[in-house]
Amino acid sequence: QSALTQPPSASGSPGQSVTISCTGTSSDVGGYNYVSWYQQHPGKAPKLMIYEVSKRPSGVPDRFSGSKSGNTASLTVSGLQAEDEADYYCSSYAGSNNFVFGTGTKVTVL
Amino acid sequence: QVQLVQSGAEVKKPGASVKVSCKASGYTFTSYGISWVRQAPGQGLEWMGWISAYNGDTNYAQKLQGRVTMTTDTSTSTAYMELRSLRSDDTAVYYCARYPRDYGDYHFDYWGQGTLVTVSS
């Protein structure tokens, strides 16, 4: 199972929006509506931000939104804030209790 | 509140084995699965496998088949991940994460703090 493809970096000024893509195949991203996104600050454990493509867990700001088209999922962070600077990873269910993560994207708030 | 508390850092020699624990609290342990995810220094997340705390069913990532074993102890609400024949490229932070599979959810909603395993001669 190959890692999902994400851009290495993305950036935006405070208040702006940034969108991160996550490209897989019909065996993972395209085959299931089970794409999730995780935020990881340096030295910390990942935190669930989006699940089932576009659902937000309780406590996650509505500035975070997700979508999917075909084999590519996307995470958009609107109204960027300094605390949004982190690494972001997508993950997709790949059938038979298998999962695959994305390569990760470092988001910088300028 | 849901908590996953992992065991402390380990230093192992190549060829040795390591066993990392993950003690769960704040929820019914047997109602959820536990997945293990690792992260090599400066690298991304890698899914290692899953175990059902209900019946012990497992599924391991293909590249780790034969070297990894995941178990649970329901009496102490603790999950374990053992990795054998350690190599230098197994040096990583190992995370456990709760997997609400039995609720039809395919993601990881709570994570442990991570355990650094260093493999060095």
The shortest CB-CB distance from B107 to any of A3, A51, A98 is to A51
Q: Strands A86-93 and A105-109: what pairing? A: antiparallel
Asked whether the predicted pLDDT for residue A96 surpasses 90, the reply is no
Structure tokens, B62: 């293909």
Structure tokens, A60: 């996650």
pLDDT in tens, B34-64: 999 999 999 999 999 999 999 999 999 999 9
Residue B24 pLDDT level (bands cut at 50, 70, 90): very high
Among A29, A27, A2, residue whose Cα is nearest residue A91 = A29
Asked whether the predicted pLDDT for residue B102 surpasses 80, the reply is no
Residue B65, Cβ neighbours under 10 Å: how many?
A: 10
Structure tokens, B69: 């074993």
Of all residues in chain A, the percent with pLDDT exceeding 70 is 100
Asked whether the predicted pLDDT for residue A1 surpasses 80, the reply is no
Residue A25, Cβ neighbours under 10 Å: how many?
A: 15
Q: How close does chain B come to A4, measured CA to CA in Å?
A: 11
Residue B79 pLDDT level (bands cut at 50, 70, 90): very high
Residue B4 pLDDT level (bands cut at 50, 70, 90): very high
How many Cα neighbours within 13 Å face the side chain of B104? 1
Please check whether residue A31 touches B, CB under 8 A.
no
d(CA B97, CA A95): 18
Please check whether residue B73 touches A, CB under 8 A.
no
